[in-house]
Structure 1
Amino acid sequence: MKQDTSARPLPGLTDRLRLDKWLWAARFYKTRGLAADDIDKGRIQVNGQVAKASRELRGGETVDIRQGALTRTVVVKAVSTVRGPAVQAQMLYEETAESLLRRSEHTERRRLSAEPAESIEQGRPTKRDRRQLADWQRWSASVDER
């Protein structure tokens, strides 16, 4: 029997929190370190500006999260220091309508695209094929031109 978690208040609520901690608590990343790495790489923007991991995040701000080929745009609804279950984590943000549309289009494109494994005609190279490739690379023209 499922319990209704919407009536319970979120644990660890605060008025502001570091961006990397919030991304971890909202379950966008498995660890704070992964969140901080993506922030350092410029994949996270807050209110349209590239952010730092130590940036204080408040409710009502817009966060753009680029994961792979997809960019998710969420509006911060609450800030919590506790990483709870997925149901509670989803209460910390609201994804914009445009972001949901982009995500569904991306999913549909991936579903309809060709399977990469179908382009391989013979399958994996055998040990003999690998040795031939290694011999070819050893005697390639680029090595002889030195």
Structure 2
Amino acid sequence: MRIDKYLWCTRYYKTRNMATEACKKGHVHVNGKIAKPSREVFPMEEITVRKNQIRYELVVMDIPPSRVGAKLVDIYRKDATPKEAYENKKLQEISQQHYRKSGVGRPTKKDRRDIENYLDEPE
């Protein structure tokens, strides 16, 4: 089975086109080498996928016949991603929120009018 189809079947990517693009951009490695979208995948190969700032490491256990449900994904792959990768992603999100909280930034038109009305009021 092709690597892009395998990643789509095991639900790492929402569409097969997204999986193909990830392969073309060099985000997918098989046994330490960059994989083209048409590369064949065989059981017991190690795949590394870089997605959303996380480097997922998985081992191919079996080849699925077609796209499988989320509950059945573990039959076809073994997730070997270190827990530190997930923790680093969480820390990165927290630090980004600390840097600039969402919803805080330039005042909206309504905020600006409220500020002007507040400043123009006689005391």
TM-score bracket for the superposition, by shorter chain length: 0.7 to 0.9
One-letter identity of the residue aligned with 2:8: W
8 A contact 2:31–2:47 mirrored in 1: yes
Unaligned 5+ segments in structure 2 are: 110-123
CA distance in 2, matches of 1:61, 1:110: 30
The RMSD of aligned alpha carbons is 2.4
SS at match of 1:22: helix
More strand by share: 1
Aligned counterpart for 2:2 among listed residues 10, 13, 18: 18
Match of 1:103 in 2: 85
8 A contact 2:23–2:36 mirrored in 1: yes
**Structure 1 residues 88 and 110: alpha-carbon distance in aligned structure 2, compared to 1, 3 A threshold:** same
Aligned counterpart for 2:12 among listed residues 10, 16, 28: 28
Match of 2:29 in 1: 45
- Using structure 1 for the length normalisation, give the TM-score: 0.65
Q: For each residue in 1:78-101, what CA deviation from the matched residue of structure 2 results, as whole angstroms up to 9, or x when unmatched? A: 1113112101122211112xx232
Match of 1:124 in 2: 106
Unaligned 5+ segments in structure 1 are: 1-16, 128-146
- Using structure 2 for the length normalisation, give the TM-score: 0.76
